[in-house]
Structure 1
Amino acid sequence: MSWRAGLFPPGPHVLEADGIQVSFGGRPVLSHVYLRVQTGQIVGLLGRNGSGKSTLLQTVFGARAVPDASVRVNGRRAVPAFQTAGLLNYLPQVPLLPAHLTLAQAARLLRVNLEKATANFPDLHAQLGARPGELSGGTARLAQVLLLLHADTSFSLFDEPFSGIMPVHLETLAVEMQQAKQRKGLLLSDHRYVEVLALSDVVYLLHQGRLFKLGADPQAELAAHGYLVA
């Protein structure tokens, strides 16, 4: 049985994905993948550039159709997941907001209280009437992350959420994410390993097409796979 669009209920949920097999040019990119995220949890997804992290996030969200891929919520099929209202949102690496919308207009479309979403970032207050192209790359990225964090979904998927964001804002954004996980599940993929590890309750490593769930000492396991935490 599948979730029907518009009927996704509130409450604790578990999001799972498996059966994802993706190859590019005959080269396997994703195989033997099992991913689990639950509400009340931040899950980190690490891996080298080109390892398939973005492809995995796109598949879970439903932007990339993959034969036999299974995405489930509480054991019930949800493919493509984005068609189930209130289930999840997704920030890709590329800009998300339409160029013609101001931040205030985008917030209204997402039904987000913009004053609340930006309360801890006073630098943004003077720019709420600006369009994404009128902002610096880091400021636009921060605004998009905040809008999705505060949107009313059970899960949020983020691909490089810290990209270009000023260091002075990273600590505050981390607090925002910790607060958001009290009401939703977060899946973060970012090359800034330190920030991801500090936030995550569970960490996965995508390595040579396989997804590994790391244990109590993820830094040691990352080192064993030849990764450097910087």
Structure 2
Amino acid sequence: MDPAGRGRYGGLRGFRGFAAPLGLLMRTTPPPTATLPYVLEADGIQFAFGGRVLLADVYLRVQTGQVVGLLGRNGCGKSTLLQTVAGGRRVADASVRLNGQRVVPAYRQPGLLNYLPQVPLLPAQLSVTAAARLLGVDAGAALAAFPELLAQAHRPVGELSGGTTRLVEVLLLLHADTRFSLLDEPFIGVMPIHLETLVEVLRAVKPRKGILLTDHRYEEVLALCDVVYLLHDGRLERLDDPRAGLLDRGYLR
């Protein structure tokens, strides 16, 4: 976890820095006036922690119909960047815009985005079905690619394994009616037998949604993403040739 990302998450209550419940972040009524494609941009993001610069005037862009990967080593600031884009972390001079119009904070804009932190999101006492209802999602549709999950939808989230819980969280957020999903390590703990299907679900959702994700499973990210950014020494670089760029910098062998 990024140093600046530490803190106590409270199920759907959010992470340190959110002044409002994550329920607000997951509003599903889209604003009526914007036109496709929707473009989410963030720039001017600067952040230091413990005397170390994590983010130095970062610019990021993702649009609907894209999966955008954000790669970098542990502790480099990826989680902080996602939190800033979502609006849960206030950073001086940061600007987040939808189709050129500022949205501050982004999570308060109905139907704009949802956010999956590194740590568990769903309250342990809720059943999967109840959690889906809370997010305005049809559990049957969201879990359709995983029949074994449908069979467990009546169970409390706290009774599921960590990897299964993560899979459920990702599926519910992807099927929620928002234009963008920000996913911090969506593949963590997910069994290999499920990972390939999850990647296919991400591809299927992409035409109607913009997805920004970070994960350390670089091969899956490279196979999935239309655009790849690398965060290194506080700088965010868009890689024209992601595989070659990661090989040159020692991220792949």
Instruction: Please indicate, yes or no, whether the TM-score normalized by the shorter chain is above 0.5.
Output: yes
Tell me which residue corresponds to 1:222: 246
Instruction: Tell me how large the CA RMSD over aligned residues is.
Output: 1.3
Tell me which residue corresponds to 1:70: 95
Deviation at 1:7, TM superposition (A): 6.4
Tell me which residue corresponds to 2:146: 121
What CA distance in whole angstroms lies between the structure 1 residues aligned with 2:199 and 2:242? 19
| Matched residues, number | 224
| Aligned residue type for 1:60 | V
Indicate the percent of aligned positions where both proteins have the same amino acid: 67
Tell me which residue corresponds to 1:202: 227
| 1:147-183 Cα shifts (integer Å, max 9, x gaps) | 0000000000000000000111111111110111110
What CA distance in whole angstroms lies between the structure 1 residues aligned with 2:235 and 2:90? 19
Distance 1:183 1:68, change over 3 A: same
Unaligned runs of 5+ in 2: 1-26
TM-score (norm 1): 0.94
Q: 2:42 aligns with which of 17, 22, 25?
A: 17
What CA distance in whole angstroms lies between the structure 1 residues aligned with 2:152 and 2:30? 35
Point out the more displaced range, 24-33 or 202-211.
24-33
Deviation at 1:100, TM superposition (A): 2.2
Q: 1:8 aligns with which of 27, 31, 34?
A: 31
| Aligned residue type for 1:18 | D
Deviation at 1:109, TM superposition (A): 1.2
Does residue 50 (structure 1) correspond to residue 69 (structure 2)? The answer is no
TM-score (norm 2): 0.86
What CA distance in whole angstroms lies between the structure 2 residues aligned with 1:100 and 1:164? 20
Unaligned runs of 5+ in 1: none
Runs of 4+ in 1 over 4 A off after TM superposition: none
Secondary structure (helix, strand or coil) at the match of 1:34 reads strand
| 1:175-225 Cα shifts (integer Å, max 9, x gaps) | 11011111010001000000001000000000100000000x211111222
Distance 1:7 1:185, change over 3 A: closer
What CA distance in whole angstroms lies between the structure 2 residues aligned with 1:79 and 1:57? 14
| 1:104-155 Cα shifts (integer Å, max 9, x gaps) | 0111111111111111101102210112210000000000000000000000
Deviation at 1:8, TM superposition (A): 2.0
